[in-house]
Structure 1
Amino acid sequence: MTTSLRIATFNILHGRSLSDGEVHLRRFGRAVAGLDADILAMQEVDRDQPRSTSADLTSVAAEAAGAPYHRFAATLHGEPGVWSAATGEAQPGVAEYGIAIVSRHPVIRWRRLALPALPIRWPLMLKDRPPILVKDEPRAALAAMIDVPGGPLTVVSTHLTFLPGWNAVQIRRLWWACRHLPRPLVVAGDLNLRGRIPARLTGWRPLAEAPTYPLEEPVHQIDHILGSGPVHAVGPGGAVHTGTSDHRALVAEVSCGGAA
């Protein structure tokens, strides 16, 4: 049995619009609703942050999408500029930042996947300027086994580093962490790797291909929706300018079931 689903990934830039540099929850909600995604993976998600009106942006997105099942996974605690790594269970009333999944279909179970932290400062090449050494923020992935019509589907949301070379290490580690997760599997997120590089490094199949960055005149696809096992694109997919964030959202229409 097969079923058709609309899956999207969206780096939301904590709900901020480049048009005015502000966060408006209604505008953010309209952006999410306009994607009409059955399952949405999000990155750069705030919870209890003053810069985003101290809102729980995962809950805002879930309500806008009509998705009663959702989970946020913090990668950092604290406000920007005073970040600390997120460890253990989330503490109430503490500002956080991370990744999320919202789903219209029931989630059977959730799982957090660890990604390697970069213990040292890493050289970052800049155009027309000397390279600088930067320290990356912690990274993680959130997996959900979702009960879609036709059987379970595993969806993973992640946000990999922007540091060249280390993002390739992280996606290979993510591939290893996902090797025993049930198929069909969809990995969605801001991978900070261009074009078909993620597919070549993992063997996962692109389910949607379109440039997603920068927002107004995108020339690079760094946001991806990749499949493993019996999940296939049933259309070309595409990038959506939502009026929010500095990325376009990426949307895929997929069919689950049948031959892998």
Structure 2
Amino acid sequence: MSGRSRRWSVGDTLAVVVAAAILAWAFAPGAGPDLLRLQQRWGWPAPSGGDALVALGDADVAEALRALPVRDADETPGYQRSSFGQAWADTDRNGCDTRNDILARDLARPVLKPGTHGCVVLSGTLAEPYTGAVIEFRRGEGTSAEVQIDHVVALADAWRAGAWEWEAGRRQELANDPLNLLAVDGEANQDKEAGRADQWLPPEKSFRCPYVARQVAVKTKWGLSVTLAERDAMARVLSGCPDQDLPES
């Protein structure tokens, strides 16, 4: 065996460059599919909206996002909450109002008030999705507002996204659709107000992908539109989680 060291060739250099490029494409946020999900974990910059939309691949949530109609401007009549009917109506006719339905669904170990046919939730534990906190819910004048039911697609946004053209009954069904509702921290809900994905995202970064995917699912189900800025923001979030499922309920 020769004692001379092996010379570094142009081919070796090219192989290293190609390998580095492949690794960057696979794992670096913004360069490829980000297989280590560093973007989602650390909040690294994502690709620009248009590039992110192209890079999403063919997952159900990506196809649904691409299919959403894009509106140019908000030229709609003024929004009023009353246009969506009675707040927390019993649209599924199970005898319970929607707020209590969602509390019973989202709280762990819910305690129900006797004599209410299993409807009124008195207490329970919420693993709060928007902040990552754990909230001990207690029904009462000074405590009930600590847990609020959020419209994931805000009703004001839904109005501008096409609901202003619907009949009142359809709007009320949307306002009480469990797919569009989550029990959340009251302060986070107030902070969100009617923000779209380009205007507000949950402080808990690990929930941003499920949150945006749920917005896409709601808008797909109800035939609602997005703004260009909103669609781009959704694509940027979803680019960090290529395996994110599209919620069905």
Fold in common (TM above 0.5): no
Bigger strand fraction: 1
Q: Which has the higher helix share?
A: 2
Greater C-alpha Rg: 2
Higher RCO (Cα < 8 Å, 6 or more apart): 2
